[in-house]
């Protein structure tokens, strides 16, 4: 086996480890590490959640004295600053590693190229860029958050073949299959927060919870856009506070007494600018970013989805296409409003892929 083939094999193992932490490390990235000596793995690890040891520290702890003279395969550049944990690069320098293969530089300005620089200054052979494209996908939310300080936004909707997200009556249960809804729970678990509009609360009275055993204990936020605080105090969303913090964004005209009632029931009320009853979505995202919420799954109705699309604040979509026709001129679609003046001016997805779950087709794409 060539040296490149070996490097690819071990870096792929490191990424397999990093994938295990999806949805658990925010606002930190997902990172995996493998320590190899004489073509044998002597240590491995991954960053399990914010505040716990980073991947390279886990791997070096397992390797112990065997790390001296070994090669470390690391999916993301080691940190050089104090955060919830000490700088990882110091530990690497103490270990006696012969070589470090780093897949991607950390986009965090506090770290970017500084970790690799420290290793090279110490005489350690460092190679970068191997399978870097995997990191761009795995840590897309982290990259957006750490560089712009606002969350990565994913839109999710279930559609009929004729593009409807509900019947004219507002009924939408259930357009997609049970199996697709289970996959949607995994999407929730990969994000820090779910966001809907007040109409979804009034029509469906959802709990917006994570219903996966493997997601138990995850820090979860439930966000509602409600310009005039029409939020009912008896809503199910307020009955189960351990299921996730409830954050309600309201406008300046929303009544103070209603805000006080909702706050007393455990909701956090945040006021942001508004215009014509529409909340400033950029201000919403900035406030979420200040709370270290790095990714948001938008499951709102037509109004919320349209607002994010019109203001070009969505980064990614998951559309669940179901083999049924709903019809009706008044049945809502995910993108309403004026729409594009011409087909050439339409919003177009990039890097599109699709796959099937039972009879549904799931379309994933980026803006």
As annotated, the active-site residues are: 56
| Contact yes or no for 350/366 (Cβ under 8 A) | yes
Q: How far apart are CA 163 and CA 332, in angstroms?
A: 8
362: Cβ contacts below 8 Å, ≥ 6 apart: 180, 183, 318, 319, 320, 321, 354, 355, 356
- How far apart (Å, rounded) are the C-alpha atoms in residues 114 and 287? 29
- CA Rg value for the chain: 23
Closest by alpha carbon to 67, among 32, 115, 90, 99? 99
Read off the DSSP letter of residue 108. Answer: S
Q: Please name the residues in contact with 142: beta carbons below 8 A apart, sequence gap of 6 or more.
A: 25, 26, 27, 28, 29, 30, 107, 294
Of the candidates 287, 302, 267, 277, the residue with the CA atom closest to the CA atom of residue 227: 277
Q: Going by DSSP bridges, is the β-strand pair 316-322/40-46 parallel, antiparallel, or unpaired?
A: unpaired
Cβ atoms of 324 and 165 within 8 Å: the answer is: no
Residue 232 CA to chain centroid, in angstroms? 29
How far apart, in whole angstroms, are the C-alpha atoms of residue 110 and residue 92?
Answer: 18
Distance from C-alpha of 77 to C-alpha of 178, rounded to nearest angstrom: 40
What phi, psi does 39 have (nearest 5°)? 65, 15
CB 237 within 8 A of CB 204: no
């Amino acid at each position: 086996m060539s040296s490149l083939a070996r490097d690819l094999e071990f870096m792929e193992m490191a990424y397999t480890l990093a994938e295990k932490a999806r949805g658990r490390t925010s606002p930190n990235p997902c990172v995996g590490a493998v320590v190899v000596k004489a073509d044998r793995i002597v240590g491995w690890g991954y960053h399990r959640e914010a505040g716990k040891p980073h991947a390279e520290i886990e791997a070096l702890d397992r390797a112990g004295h065997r790390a001296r003279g070994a090669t470390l395969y690391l999916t993301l550049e080691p940190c050089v600053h104090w955060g919830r944990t000490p700088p990882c690069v110091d530990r690497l320098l103490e270990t006696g590693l012969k070589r470090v293969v780093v897949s991607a530089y950390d986009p965090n300005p506090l770290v970017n190229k500084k970790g690799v620089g420290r290793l090279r200054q110490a005489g350690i052979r460092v190679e970068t860029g191997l399978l870097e494209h995997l990191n761009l996908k795995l840590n897309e939310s982290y990259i957006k958050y750490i560089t712009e300080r606002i969350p990565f936004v994913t839109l999710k909707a279930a559609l009929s073949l004729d593009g409807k997200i509900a019947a004219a009556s507002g009924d939408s249960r259930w357009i997609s299959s049970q199996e697709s809804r289970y996959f949607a729970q995994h999407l929730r678990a990969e994000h820090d927060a779910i966001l809907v509009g007040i109409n979804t609360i009034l029509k469906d009275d959802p709990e917006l919870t994570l219903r996966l055993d493997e997601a138990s204990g995850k820090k979860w936020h439930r966000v509602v856009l409600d310009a005039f605080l029409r939020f009912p105090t008896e809503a199910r969303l307020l009955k189960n506070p351990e299921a996730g913090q409830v954050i309600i964004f309201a406008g300046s005209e929303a009544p103070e007494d209603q805000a006080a009632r909702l706050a007393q029931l455990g909701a956090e009320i945040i006021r942001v600018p508004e215009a014509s009853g529409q909340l400033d979505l950029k201000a919403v995202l900035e406030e979420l970013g200040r709370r270290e919420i790095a990714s948001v799954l938008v499951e709102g109705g037509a109004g919320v989805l349209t607002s994010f699309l019109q203001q070009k604040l969505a980064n990614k979509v998951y559309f669940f296409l179901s083999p049924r026709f709903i019809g009706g001129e008044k049945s809502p679609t995910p993108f309403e409003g004026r729409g594009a003046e011409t087909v050439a001016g339409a919003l177009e997805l990039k890097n599109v892929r699709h796959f099937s779950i039972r009879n549904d087709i799931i379309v994933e794409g980026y803006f």
